[in-house]
Chain A
């Protein structure tokens, strides 16, 4: 009987076995998430969350937070409506949207999905669809993990040379790299800017995201026209982005998805209502 034990177990295994979901199906399902991760894929979700929090805290160290509960709630409703439909709807700590109290027209996305819009850009938008266009562009940077790509490769190489003890211990090695990485990202978000390729991808991705969410993709062009008008006056707006004229050229050149005009007026009414609560 004892000799039969392996055979019995093997039979039991075969009887209970169901064809596994094929790996190709799993890979297909993950495609949208993994294709966009590029060179930054070695930083996992949890690491992205922690560095994202530090970058967000650094941005809040430079710009005052606009603690308007009602307007922040509205911003989160618009932002999360979009995030649900993007290629990366779930991040480690989820998407969070907040306002910065400055007249400068700008928007920043910290790793993991903490997205800031300034009072200046919110007041520049004419309706909810234009506000959504700005948010969709920033969400696309999160989908592509663009903020992480701002970390200089030497930082990650340096981390590889630490032992686990050095990294978690009191030695400053890993903390120094962590801080330097935060500075790499903040420097890119606030001053240097992403590459033109990254910005173009975020704009074109935003057109699709607006359409799939039910917003008018044309709102991105409408918003860029406003930014161009401000740029002509030499006022500081989206200083770390390519010129609005350049962006309008490729946004207009893209065939782009249609639709979303239905309901734009109604959404505009609730936008004005939300802004009235300032």
Chain B
């Protein structure tokens, strides 16, 4: 009994240490960058929920390591600190995270957005066109350089 208690204490401590350095991507899509600069080379794409190991904070930027072992930078606005959870060793609700539960409780979600699609006064078709207008990074970098911007 004593041994099991010891074992759980050590596991919990390990989880706490690991969680202390973990970040989670909180935006739909972002990129792991070679430098703390949005116009620097992209090392790999990141998406919501990807976990990153925090190596160092540099101003508004974090130097991190991806799950695939790639070292690079993300901006602090793209990530949040990983919550300390003992989900692996303690019983609890499976699946939904605290954030997902909070979201479900509030209802500001895709489900309610879909219900609005048929309401008068909303034009989601044109919104789709707006959201499709992408600008790639090389074009943006050229635009910044040609306009003598920073």
Chain A residues with CB under 8 Å of chain B are 2-3, 5-6, 9-10, 13, 17, 20-21, 25-26, 28-30, 32-33, 43-51, 53-54, 56-58, 60-62, 65, 67, 69, 72-73, 76-77, 80-81, 84-85, 87-94, 96-98, 114, 128, 156, 159-160, 162-164, 167-168, 173-175, 177-179, 181-182, 212-215, 262-263, 266-267, 270
Contacts and interface: CB of A to CB of B under 8 A. Distances in A.
Contacts of A168: 104, 107, 109, 111
Interface string B102-145: 11111111111101100111111011011101110001100110
Contact of A215 (B13, B62, B149): B149
A61 B116 CA distance: 12
Contact of B130 (A51, A58, A96): A96
B135 A77 contact: yes
Given A25-B57, A84-B38, A179-B116, A159 B144 contact: no
B72 to A, nearest CB: 15
A263 B147 contact: yes
Q: Say which size band chain B's interface belongs to.
A: 35 or more
A29 B75 CA distance: 9
Nearest to A177: B107
B150 A214 contact: yes
Interface in B85-104: 99, 101-104
Contacts of A26: 54, 57, 81
Contacts of A174: 106-107, 112
A76 B127 CA distance: 15
A98 B133 contact: yes
Contacts of A67: 126, 129
Nearest to A48: B108
A263 B148 contact: yes
Contacts of A25: 57
Contacts of A163: 105
27 contacts: A2-B3, A3-B3, A10-B13, A29-B61, A29-B76, A30-B76, A46-B99, A46-B103, A49-B28, A50-B110, A54-B116, A54-B122, A57-B122, A57-B123, A61-B121, A69-B133, A77-B139, A81-B147, A84-B38, A94-B27, A94-B28, A97-B133, A160-B105, A174-B106, A178-B108, A178-B116, A213-B149
Interface in B46-101: 54-62, 75-78, 81, 99, 101
